[in-house]
Structures are given as C-alpha cells and as structure tokens.
Amino acid sequence: MAAIVSPGLCASCRHARPIAGARSTFWLCDRSRTDPRFPRYPRLPVVRCAGYERAAGEVTPAPPAPPG
Ligand code: SF4
C-alpha cells in the first residue's frame, strides 16, 4: 500500500494540477512548461517554492504533513 504524502504548497498553488493515478495522486507543476527551474512533478511535500502563487479561493498554504 502506497504512503499518502502531503503535497505541501502545491495543494494551494494556482500552478498545480493534481493527476489522479491508480494508486496515488501526482501533482503536475504547470510552471515547468515555461521555466526549467520547476520540475514537472515536484518532489513532495513542497515546503518552499519561488513560483508559488495562491490559487483563487485558497486562504493559506496547506502545511506539510509531519515526517513519519
Ligand atoms: S509553482 Fe511551486 S508550489 Fe506551485 S505547483 Fe509548481 S512546484 Fe508546486
């Protein structure tokens, strides 16, 4: 069974696109299309990101899950 990993900042970022897979959800970063600094599928959880922009309707960035 796959562990559930919090996406961190991607969860509330306007550039993130969740892609539901059979066993887990991948978070695609749309900034990767135009800026090579950003990986297509960022390593989660993303706790700091220069490209983060809050999505409309989001109040605060989602905190990352504690390790373990
Ligand atoms: S810009 Fe940063 S926070 Fe936003 S989706 Fe890409 S990696 Fe995640």
Residue 28: beta bridge partners?
17
Confirm whether 7 is domain-assigned: yes
Confirm whether 1 is domain-assigned: yes
Residue 10's contacts (CB-CB under 8 Å, 6 or more residues apart) are 16, 27, 29, 42, 44, 45, 46, 49
From the alpha carbon of 16, which atom of ligand 1 is closest? Answer: 5
Confirm whether 65 is domain-assigned: no
pTM over 0.85: no
Q: Which mutation among 14, 19, 48, 52 tests ligand 1's pocket best, with the greatest number of atoms within 8 A of CB?
A: 52
Do 46 and 10 meet the contact criterion of CB atoms below 8 Å apart?
yes
Confirm whether 68 is domain-assigned: no
Cα 22 to averaged position of ligand 1 atoms, centre (Å): 23
Confirm whether 10 is domain-assigned: yes
Confirm whether 2 is domain-assigned: yes
Confirm whether 21 is domain-assigned: yes
Inter-CA distances, 17 with 8, 11, 67, Å: 13, 9, 24
Number of domains the chain contains: 1
Q: What is the pLDDT of residues 2-37, one digit of tens each?
A: 567 799 999 999 999 999 989 888 999 999 999 999
Confirm whether 5 is domain-assigned: yes
Domain that holds residue 42: 1-54
